[in-house]
Amino acid sequence: MEPLSSEGMGEILSPPATTLGFVGWVRRNLFNGIFNSLVTMVVLAVLMAFVPRFIKWALLDGVWYSSGQGCREAGGACWSVVTRNLRFILFGFYPYEQQWRPVLCVGLFMGLFAFSRKPRHWNRRLLYAWGTGLLIMGVLMPGGIFGLDYIEPARWGGICLTLLLSLFGLTAAYPLGVILALGRQSKLPVVKSLSVIYIELIRGVPLISLLFMASVMFPLFLPEGITVNKILRAQAAIILFTAAYIAEVVRGGLQAIPRGQYEAAESLGLDYTLKMRLIILPQALKIVIPPTVSILISAFKDTSLVVIIGLFDLLKTTQVTLANPEWMGFSTEAFSFIAVIYFVGCFSMSNLSRRLEREL
Amino acid sequence: MTWENLAFRAWEKESMIRESSATTENRVSTQPIIQIIGLHKWFGEFHVLRNINLTVNKGERIVVCGPSGSGKSTLIRCINRLEDHQRGRIIVDNIELTHDIKKVEKIRAEVGMVFQHFNLFPHLTVLENLTLGPVWVRKIPKAEAEETAMLFLEKVHIAEQARKYPGQLSGGQQQRVAIARSLCMKPKVMLFDEPTSALDPEMVKEVLDVMIELAQDGMTMIVVSHEMGFARSVAHRVLFMDYGQIVEENTPEEFFSNPRHERTKLFLSQILH
Ligand SMILES: Nc1ncnc2c1ncn2[C@@H]1O[C@H](COP(=O)(O)OP(=O)(O)O)[C@@H](O)[C@H]1O
Ligand SMILES: [Mg+2]
């Protein structure tokens, strides 16, 4: 009997053509099985129905820099509503000729954020850079010194306000949330119950009502003659709200750390602060990076709720633009633009999250 | 089978370990480092330690054995107050253990503890595990702490792993790192809670060897262990615990060849087969 032929004894063969290249990829990923082939066909049909029409509307027939009247005459997307009102949408009532200041601030912020994305850049110098950056922003935005005109915070608006509320909201809510989570685990009954009450109260209330409280009720309790800036009040509401959610996520992380870690830390003679700072929190916070970033992302989006108490964040400036009779009716385009901005923000955060999980 | 026979078989079985250790001479002082007087502890309703009295002198090595659940772990965990006690007194290095957390932390710095499951810090490298205590508790400069840490890593025969993370090491290696981590604090007493019982059989010897070397250096040790060969070669006293009490206490020779209580005999027959 002839031995079963084993083709090519031992030499290196290239794999069968059907598993290689474009054809192979299509087979493996789109048509491996009847069900997947069907799904592929349906998706293709849907795409073919919508994509060409979208491209025609958005790009081919789109109008990029016309008046409102010009938009109405053209049949396609009216991107002019964005381009013509860009500076108002982005910067609100910040004086026109001073808008280089918010531009600089936003640029500075994005630069710092981009650089901070790599954990290997995290060191003392970066901390100083953030400190200096925030100081510069804190001087540039209101002005009033170094010959800069004073711009009262009531006139800050658009993307600056959104970033301001988010940046300070998130950076303040995170440590507060961690402290609350530790408080909830405390052996001291007073600390523990205060933390529990706080967390449960805040989580039982929607952010909108907190914002209303901050803007309407809170001033009633202040002594006569003292007013707290509206932005600051909204900021406080966002911080308090987000912190409660972060606290619960962090608590989950703390519970995931085995008792042995606490005991090993204690048996070296570490006190509570050192034990938490050096052993428990680094591990617990790392475990909860994904849910924490989810909370930060939704907090970032929730800053848009400040429209209802009349702050001019990105959403409000867009609404105001659309209320102008010239641009009435082009909300699709304007809100698409806002959506893209929010998407870029959220996507960079979730990217950061994945990077942190991988590299820490 | 007579007790002499049983004991002799255990002797044979563990001869490997015995051979690797030179006879450890008696350097016990009469200075007590740990005094436990009339100790009682309850977990809720459960009376887990019942009237424990024990004095450990400097340089003394004690092996504690007894059936599972008899309170061995609880007893040694009381010594550095990982568990608190409800009645009686514990005095370590002339400081009495009370609710005063500052005093407790001071004692913990002087008392090393090695756990059954190692409990290394997984987010830190081996070297960082070792320098953490000295740097943050003893306030020793980092460079100096690292130098000491490398010495102790060499002592436990594992210096080449200094930059690795605990998760990359075998169980035996991890336990040796855990021992080195405690030693870096230059403790006056070392407590071991079944240090080899979570290890694969082939790794037990490397850890026991390190502990035997430590014994030869004159370290005061309390070891919860069922490694009878180890007990024979290094212990000054063997304690047998059952139902939260110290039932029997004797020199290893007497303890193995001439156990006095029925429960001890039963226990020995079980672990020696
Ligand atoms: N934290 C605890 N809470 C309640 N019971 C416990 C706790 N720790 C141990 N015990 C009980 O105390 C007894 C003694 O435990 P332990 O000291 O660990 O025994 P051993 O180390 O001798 O096996 C066991 O019955 C155990 O179930
Ligand atoms: Mg035990």
pLDDT in tens, A316-344: 888 888 888 877 878 888 888 888 988 98
Choice among A32-41, A334-343, B26-35 with the minimum mean pLDDT: B26-35
Distance of CA A239 to the CA centre of its chain: 14
Distance A345 CA to ligand 2 centre (A): 52
> Which residues of A, range 244-263, sit inside 8 Å of B by Cβ?
258, 260-261, 263
The per-residue pLDDT of chain B, averaged, comes to 88
Look up the ipTM and state it.
0.88
Contact check, Cβ <8 Å, A266/B108: yes
pLDDT band at A87 (very low <50, low <70, confident <90, very high): confident
Pick the more confident residue, A358 or A263: A263
Q: What is the pLDDT of residue B51?
A: 94
B121 lines ligand 1 (CB under 6 A): no
> Which ligand ends up closest to the CA of B46?
1
Mean pLDDT of A169-198: 91
pLDDT(A10) > 90: no
> Is B25 a residue whose pLDDT tops 80?
no
* Record: contact A271-B101, CB cut-off 8 A: yes
Q: Which of A53-62, A121-130, A218-227, A231-240 has the lowest mean pLDDT?
A: A218-227
State yes or no: pLDDT of B28 exceeds 90. Answer: no
Q: What is the mean pLDDT of chain A?
A: 84
Provide the pLDDT for residue B2: 52
C-alpha dihedral over A20, A26, A30, A32, to 10 degrees? -40
Structure confidence at residue A227 (pLDDT): 67
Cα–Cα dist A188/A259, whole Å: 19
A271 contacts chain B (CB < 8 A): yes
A235 falls in which pLDDT band (50, 70, 90)? confident
Answer whether A202's CB lies under 8 Å from A240's CB: yes
Average pLDDT over residues A102-110: 86
Cβ atoms of A169 and A299 closer than 8 Å: yes
Look-up: residue for tokens 């923000």? Answer: A345
Query: Among candidates B196, B192, B214, which has minimal Cα distance to B205?
Result: B196
Place of tokens 């009262």: A152
**Cβ–Cβ contact B190 with A under 8 A:** no
Question: In the predicted model, what is the mean pLDDT of residues B66-92?
Answer: 94
Report the pLDDT value the prediction gives residue B23, as an integer from 0 to 100.
Answer: 47
Q: Nearest CA of chain B to the CA of A284: how many Å?
A: 11
List, in sequence order, the alpha helices (H) in B92-239.
101-110, 126-136, 142-155, 171-183, 201-216, 228-234
Give the per-residue pLDDT at B96.
93
Helix then strand then coil, in percent of chain B rounded to 5, is 45, 25, 35
Structure token pair of residue B211? 């502990």
Instruction: For tokens 């508790």, name the residue.
Output: B137
Contacts of A261 in chain B (CB under 8 A): 119, 121
Mean pLDDT of A111-140: 83
pLDDT digits (tens, 9 = 90+) for A255-307: 999 999 999 999 999 999 999 999 999 999 989 988 988 888 888 888 888 88
Is A286 at the interface with chain B, CB within 8 A? yes
User: From the CB of B84, is ligand 1 less than 6 Å away?
Assistant: no
Closest CA to B180 of B159, B200, B164: B159
Q: Which amino acid is at A311?
A: L
Mean pLDDT of B180-187: 94
Residue A98 tokens read as 């001073």
CB pairs under 8 A between A and B: 58
pLDDT of amino acid B223: 96
Surface-to-core class of residue B22, CB atoms within 10 Å of its CB (0-12 exposed, 13-18 middle, 19+ buried) = exposed
- Out of A266, A271, A282, closest to residue B123 by CB: A282
pLDDT at residue number B3: 52
Nearest one of A163, A152, A162, A172 to A108, comparing CA atoms: A163
pLDDT given for residue A241 in this prediction: 92
Phi, psi of A332 (to 5 degrees): -55, -50
d(CA A30, CA A138): 53
Q: Give the number of other Cβ atoms within 10 Å of residue A344's Cβ.
A: 10
Partner-chain contact B181 A268, CB within 8 Å? yes
Q: Give ∠ CA A28-A30-A32 in degrees, rounded to 5.
A: 55
| Nearest chain A Cα distance for residue B224, angstroms | 17
The answer to whether B209 and B20 are in contact (CB under 8 A) is yes
Establish whether residue B69 lines the binding site of ligand 1, counting it when its CB lies within 6 angstroms of any ligand atom: yes
Interface test with B, best of A188, A259, A267 (most B CBs within 10 A): A267
Phi then psi for residue B218, to 5 deg, are 90, 15
pLDDT tens per residue across span A92-104 = 888 888 888 888 8
Across the range A60-88, mean pLDDT stands at: 77
pLDDT of residue B33: 93
Q: How confident is the model at residue A217 (pLDDT cuts 50, 70, 90)?
A: confident
pLDDT in tens, B202-231: 899 999 999 999 999 999 999 999 988 999
Least confident of A345-349, B13-17, B148-152, B246-250: B13-17
Higher-confidence residue: A231 or B149? B149
Which three-class secondary structure state does DSSP give residue B10?
helix
Q: Which of B123, B128, B186 to mutate against chain A (most A CBs within 10 Å)?
A: B123
Residue corresponding to tokens 């509570």: A272
Please count the CA atoms within 13 angstroms of the CA of B74 that sit on its side-chain side.
Answer: 25
B121 interfacial to chain A (CB closer than 8 Å): yes
Give SS3 for B122: coil
- Beta-carbon count within 10 A of B157 CB: 15
Considering only residues B85 and A33, tell me which one the structure prediction assigns the higher pLDDT.
B85
Mean pLDDT of B90-97: 93
* Per-residue confidence (pLDDT) for residue B19, from 0 to 100: 45
Q: What is the mean pLDDT of residues A305-312?
A: 80
**pLDDT recorded at residue A17:** 65
pLDDT digits (tens, 9 = 90+) for B128-181: 999 999 999 999 999 999 999 999 999 999 999 999 999 999 999 999 999 999
Q: Tell me which chain A residue has its CA closest to the CA of residue B131.
A: A268
Q: Does B100 touch chain A (CB under 8 A)?
A: no
Domains of chain A: 80-94+151-359 (1.10.3720.10)
Mutate to test the pocket of ligand 1, among B39, B40, B42, B43 (most ligand atoms within 8 A of CB): B43
Q: Do A247 and A195 touch, CB atoms closer than 8 A?
A: yes
Taking 70 as the threshold, does the pLDDT of residue A149 lie above it? Answer: yes
Model confidence at B57, pLDDT cuts 50, 70, 90, reads very high
Q: What's the pLDDT at A53? A: 84
Q: What percent of chain B has pLDDT over 90?
A: 79
pLDDT at B20: 44
Q: Does residue A9 have a pLDDT over 80?
A: no
Which residue has the least CA distance to atom 27 on ligand 1?
A: B69
Q: Which residues contact B246 (CB under 8 A, 6 or more apart)?
A: B52, B53, B54, B239, B240
Q: What percent of chain A has pLDDT over 90?
A: 21
Residues in chain A: 360
Residue B17, pLDDT above cutoff 50: no
Kind plus residue range of the DSSP H or E element containing B50: strand B46-57
Q: Say if residue B92's pLDDT is above 90.
A: yes
Confidence category of residue A166, pLDDT binned at 50, 70, 90: confident
Stretch A70-79: mean pLDDT: 77
pLDDT value, residue B15: 47
CA distance B81 to B51: 17
Q: Quick check: CB of B45 below 6 Å from ligand 1?
A: no
pLDDT band for B22, please (50, 70, 90 cuts). Answer: very low
A114 contact partners, CB below 8 Å, separation of at least 6: none
